[in-house]
A and B are shown apart, each in its own frame.
Chain A
Amino acid sequence: MTGPADFGSPDSVTTGPVPPLRPARRRGGILRRCEEPLWRWGGRVASLIPLAGLTFVLVVLAVKAWPAIRVNGPGFLTRSLWQPGSTYGAPVRTGGVLHPVGSSYGAWPLIAGTLQSSFIAVLVALPISLGAAFALTERLPKWLSRPLGFFVEVLAGIPSVIIGLWGVLELGPFLARHVYPLIANHVPNVAVLRYFRGSTGYGEGLMTSGLVLGLMIVPIIASTTRDLFLQVPPLPKEGGEALGMTDAEVARWITVPWVRSGIIGATVLGLGRALGETIAVAMVSGSILGQVAPNVYGTMTTIAATIVSQLDSAATDGTGFAVATLAEAGLILAVISIAVNVAARGIVNRTSRLAAPVGRV
Chain B
Amino acid sequence: MVDEVMRSTQRPEVIDATLAALDPDRDRPPSVMEVDSLTLRFGEKTILSDVSVAFPRGTVTALIGPTGSGKSTFLRTLNRMNDRVSGFRHDGDVTLDGVSVWAPHQDLLSVRRRVGMLFQRPNPFPMSIRDNVVAGVKAHGIAKGRQLDVVAETRLREVGLWDAVKDRLGESPFRLSGGQQQLLCLARALAVGPEMLLLDEPTSSLDPGSTESVENLMRQLTPALTLIVVTHNLGQARRVSQSTILFYDGRLIEHGATSELFDAPRDPRTQRYVNGLMG
Query: What residues make up the interface of A, taking CB atoms closer than 8 Å to B?
Result: 235-236, 238-246, 249, 253-254, 257-258, 260, 353-357, 360-361
Question: A253 is contacted by which of B79, B110, B125 (Cβ under 8 Å)?
Answer: B125
B172 within 8 A of A: yes
B174 to chain A: closest residue by CB: A356
Distance between B129 CB and nearest chain A CB, rounded to angstroms: 9
Q: Please determine whether B128 and A243 come into contact, CB atoms closer than 8 angstroms.
A: no
Is B81 in contact with chain A by the CB < 8 A criterion? yes
Assuming the contacts A235-B119, A236-B123, A238-B119, asked whether A244 and B109 have C-beta atoms less than 8 A apart, the reply is yes
Which residues in A have their C-beta under 8 angstroms from that of B136?
243-245
> What separation, in Å, do the CA atoms of A355 and B127 have in the docked complex?
7
CB pair B81 A241 closer than 8 Å: yes
What chain B residues lie within 8 Å of A246 (beta carbons)?
109, 139
- Report the count of interface residues on B (CB-CB < 8 A): 30
A258, B126: Cα distance in complex, Å: 6
- Flag if A353 contacts B172 (CB, 8 Å): yes
Is B189 an interface residue, CB under 8 A from the partner? yes
B66 at the interface (CB under 8 A from A): no
Q: Give the shortest distance, in Å, between B72 (CB) and chain A (any CB).
A: 12
Residues from 107 to 130 in B contacting A, C-beta threshold 8 Å: 108-113, 116-117, 119, 121-128
Tell me the bound Cα distance from A258 to B125 in angstroms. Answer: 8
Known interface pairs A245-B136, A353-B172, A354-B172; A240-B125 also in contact (CB < 8 Å):
yes
Give the chain A neighbours of B126 by CB distance below 8 A.
236, 254, 257-258, 260, 354-356
6 additional A-B residue pairs with CB within 8 Å, beyond A235-B119, A353-B172: A236-B126, A242-B116, A243-B116, A243-B135, A244-B139, A244-B140
Q: For residue B113, which residues in chain A have a CB less than 8 angstroms away from its CB?
A: 243-244
Report the Cα distance A64→B229, complex, angstroms.
73
Q: A238-B81, A244-B136, A356-B174 given as contacts; is B123 within 8 A of A361 (CB)?
A: yes
Query: Which listed residue (A253, A354, A360, A361) contacts B135, Cβ 8 A?
Result: A253
Q: Which of B116, B121, B188 contacts A235 (CB 8 A)?
A: B121
Q: A357 touches which one: B81, B112, B128, B174 (CB < 8 A)?
A: B174
Closest 7 CB pairs of A and B: A244-B112, A242-B117, A243-B136, A239-B123, A244-B113, A235-B123, A244-B109
Contact B112 A242 (CB under 8 A): yes
Kindly list chain A residues whose C-beta atoms are within 8 Å of the C-beta of B117.
Answer: 239, 242-243
The yes or no answer to B192 lying at the interface (CB within 8 A) is yes
Interfacial chain A residues near B121, Cβ < 8 Å:
235, 361
A249 adjacent to B139 (CB under 8 Å): yes
B81, B108, B109: most-surrounded residue (chain A CB, <10 A): B109
**A236 to B125, Cβ gap below 8 A?**
yes
B185 at the interface (CB under 8 A from A): yes
**From residue B171, how far is it (CB to closest CB) to chain A in Å?**
8
A residues near B81, Cβ cutoff 8 Å: 238, 241-242
Q: Shortest Cβ distance from B86 into chain A, in angstroms?
A: 8
A23 to B127 Cα, complex, angstroms: 49
CA distance A35 to B134 in the complex (A): 57
Neighbouring B residues of A244 by C-beta, 8 Å: 108-113, 136, 139-140, 192
